[in-house]
Amino acid sequence: MSRSTLNRTVLATTGLLLAVGGALVLFGGLDLYSRLHLHPPTWWPLTSPHQPVVSTTSRTRWADRSWWWPAVIAALSLTVLAAAAWLAGQLRRSGPGTVHLPELRVRSRALEDVIETRTIELPEVSRVRTRLTGTPHSLRLHTTLHLHPDAAPAPALAAYRDGPLSDARTTLGRPDLESVIRLHLAGARRPTHSRRHLD
Amino acid sequence: MTPDQADDPPQDPPARPPVQPADGSLSSTPPEPASGGHRPRSARTGVTGLVVLAVLVVAAGLLWDVVAVRTGHQARRWRAEAAHQVAVRELSDTWVLVGAGAAVVVGAGLVWLAFAAGLRRWLPLGVGDGTAAVDRAGVAAVIRGRAHELPEVTAATVKVRQARTTVTIRGTADPAAVQRELREELAQVPLARPHRLDVRTHRADR
């Protein structure tokens, strides 16, 4: 699962739990069931505006069962572990640390440096940053390109693709290396008030 | 200059530059066709970080206290107080309703964030394989720079949105001519999806 999918799943799950819980309390608290003539099934929670949010009875319903406390502690521990694992995952470098070429192993950082050096040599490019991400089997090359003012975007992109990107694919022996480009254009460097009056 | 740069494309290449075969041995598989310039999707790292931190704090606090009680200590004040509050407050209590309303709003917001693409700063580019996007502010700066270059345009406000750009100009210039010029400038950016550009005159100048 990609990082984006995982994050979006976390957000959707948390959001749904909050929204459904809040909606149940609102429906019961505002007595919307009787006002809207709805008849929830008997097991439906929180139906009367005069019942407590979580009564002592329901909070301690299973407290005397032997499985209850181990289950609570296990669920909480799993939640804590999962959250800690997610946070630890943010500290790691995203993507492989080294890449295997046919004859040797190369540190990803070294490869990124080479691609950046080759890219900054292009006349249109003023600043570049690359990141190799993904798994060793499906690599992705993220590139942020800043162009000089007055550089035309399409030729600049073509120069990057046919130069550094194509070379990286050849070097890695991966013609399918996925490329993700973020392009920053610079406005013209002329002062905004110098206008040519062509009368 | 390296050999690769020597054959840079000419000044006005076709919208989709031909992709060179990558290398002799593996060139039998052509690179993926253009992905149609779908919108880039945000990884949502920041807001997920906040949610995960909140979950971690609540779950770790509860776990600590539950284990303390199981090992023969007293429950902490905050947990006893929280259990007491939810047991005595009725559903129609104002604070309960406010809390529930806030939970619905925050929850709906999180669900929205989970499904919306995000990255609204970026416009997809339709060039070759892979994905590419250009920042809207940069496109606006380029259009603004070109507009200021035109004769009889004294000021220009440029708003670039996902599917259309609106330019409001001041001055005595003919909006139709300015619009032609600026559309030409915008055509230099190989956007993946149709993008309108309209020029308006500032109301006070009419």
Number of A to B CB contacts under 8 A, please give it: 295
> How much is the ipTM here?
0.76
pLDDT at res. B28: 34
For tokens 């945000």, name the residue. B42
B159-199 confidence digits (pLDDT tens): 999 889 999 998 888 989 999 999 999 998 999 889 999 99
What pTM, to 2 d.p., does this model score? 0.73
Asked if A2 contacts A138 with a C-beta cutoff of 8 angstroms, the reply is no
Give dist(CA A121, CA A117) in Å, integer: 7
CB-nearest to A11 from B26, B44, B128 is: B44
B29-73 confidence digits (pLDDT tens): 333 334 445 667 888 999 999 999 999 999 999 999 999 988 988
CATH architecture label of B120-206: 2-Layer Sandwich (3.30)
pLDDT at res. B38: 64
pLDDT at res. A18: 96
What is the C-alpha end-to-end distance of chain B, expressed in Å?
53
Give dist(CA B98, CA A2) in Å, integer: 36
Residue A198 binned pLDDT confidence (cut-offs 50, 70, 90):
very low
Q: Does A55 sit within 8 Å of B132, measured CB to CB?
A: no
The nearest alpha carbon in chain A to B28 belongs to A175
CB atoms under 10 Å from CB of B92, counted, come to: 15
Domain range summary for chain B, segments of one domain joined by +: 44-115, 120-206
Per-residue pLDDT for A189 more than 70?
no
> Of B128 and B205, which is predicted with more confidence?
B128
Share of chain B above pLDDT 90, in %: 46
